[in-house]
Amino acid sequence: MKKFFLWVLFICLLASAFGYILYRYNRMRAENQKYSAPTNINSIEIIDVNELESRAASVIPRGGFDYIAGGAETEQTLRRNISAFDEIDIVPRVLRGVDKPDLRTSVLGIDISLPVIIAPAAAHGLAHISAEAGTARAAAEVDTIMAISNYASSPLRDIAIAGGGAPQWFQLYLSKDDEFNREIVQQAEKLGMRAIVLTVDAPIGGNRFRDARNNFKFPLELPNVAKKSGDTKGQGISAIFAAAQNSFAFDTVQYVKSMTRLPIIVKGIQHPDDADVAIAAGADAIWVSNHGGRQLDGAPASIEVLPEIAARVNKRVPIIFDSGIRNGTHIFKAIAAGADVVAIGRPVIYALSLGGWMGVVSLFDYLKQDLSRVMTLAGAQTIQDIKNTQLRPKCMLVRCAEL
């Protein structure tokens, strides 16, 4: 009997030891799988903005990087957003006395140091521990506007504080819950946001192959939508989108306007008729964008549809433009094609990952220098001069003559 109890004791001790080892293994595994965003704060050297993507890929964890960098399906539209700029030529002017071009401009009554603002993008915390607070500080430093995503990884209040009173816009993804919509719009207004960006091109999430292959789940909270989407940490984008409104019409713009005194910018316009509808519904500005190629793969590049939309709008409201901006030449072409200001998304997040707020400042310093160079070479002293610059599709030189 004594030997039997010794064996039972031995087995219990062995089981306890095994259980403890298993517990430690699972805990270590969980710790090793904890998302580790970069933490460094430093200026960065930039020769070509396109190179920031590969540099960021080396410091952002794989799932987070692919979520940021990826587009819908085979990413044809994502690539075309950038390559389409190569199909447009700037016709430069000379003998115009250009010297130290003036990059300053304004949009919706807000003066900014250059015609480039920060586009709304989800979860900056995937790229850097400072998250949107770091980006907001950089926007204030360079005197531009930051548009803040509904799906930010920092609370709106923290982002507003980090911005130190600099102009910010709030991007709204409508919820199916009217009370929640009014609550978050009113919060943005109380925090001093200067406009509401109503995004209408994302009734559902695009089919993003990279996220599916990685089985990507958000490794951090999205606090501004947690009230409706629940604990967003560990959820995929489709689950989070489930709480969002998925039907937009003329009265959607009117509905948002009824909530606030702030200007309403309708984001996601890709057709002239939709610009007309948005303006008729009360939009104070429109935002030409295909969501950076993250929604409908096979849609045209944003720069390809901009001239026709700008002609239809005919200066009735300001036009913001995004998708594919990577350098001063792109900025110049977009403004010459009809935009009032352009917005950049991915390059900002890449710069944030490489140097925190100082990295984003480095990016804007580069864009200022690059745009100034292009303006000088093209013969444009002011932003208005850019708008008066002639663009010529490359096909006019060769292929169109053959058609």
Give the pLDDT confidence of 211-249 residue by residue, as tens digits.
999 999 999 999 998 776 667 788 887 777 777 787 899
pLDDT higher than 50, residue 287: yes
More confident residue, 29 or 145: 145
Predicted local confidence at residue 233, as pLDDT: 86
Domains in the chain: boundaries: 1-29, 51-402
Residue 394: the pLDDT is 84
Residue 44 is which amino acid?
A: I
The predicted model gives 92-116 an average pLDDT of 97
pLDDT of residue 398 exceeding 70: no
Query: Is residue 267's pLDDT more than 90?
Result: yes
| 3-state DSSP assignment of residue 127 | coil
Band of pLDDT at residue 65, cut at 50, 70 and 90:
very high
Mean pLDDT of 368-388: 98
Positive or negative, the CA dihedral 325, 331, 332, 338 is positive
Report the C-alpha gap between 219 and 33 in whole angstroms: 10
- Torsional sign, CA 207, 211, 217, 223: negative
CATH among 3.90.550.10, 3.20.20.70, 1.10.3720.10, 3.40.190.290 for 51-402 = 3.20.20.70
- The tokens for 333 are 């072409």
Rounded mean pLDDT of the chain?
90
Mean pLDDT of 43-59: 98
Q: What angle do CA 354, 360, 364 make, to 5 degrees?
A: 135
pLDDT, mean of residues 258-280: 98
- 393 residue type, one letter: P
Give the Cα-Cα-Cα angle 60, 226, 232 (nearest 5 degrees). Answer: 40
With CA atoms as reference, report the closest residue to 334 among 22, 115, 6: 115
Tens digits of per-residue pLDDT, 167-194? 999 999 999 899 999 999 999 999 999 9
With a cut of 70, say whether residue 395 has pLDDT above it.
Answer: no
Assess contact for 324 and 302: CB atoms under 8 A. yes
Q: Respond yes or no: is residue 291 known to be catalytic.
A: yes
pTM (2 d.p.) = 0.90
Which residue from 194, 209, 307 is spatially nearest to 261, judged by alpha carbons? 194
pLDDT > 50? residue 28: no
- H-helix or E-strand spanning residue 171: strand 168-172
Q: Which of 124, 128, 271, 291 is catalytic?
A: 291
Residue 234 confidence (pLDDT) = 80
Residue 173 and residue 390 in contact, taking contact as beta carbons nearer than 8 Å: no
Q: What is the pLDDT of residue 266?
A: 98
Distance of alpha carbon 325 from alpha carbon 330, whole angstroms:
5
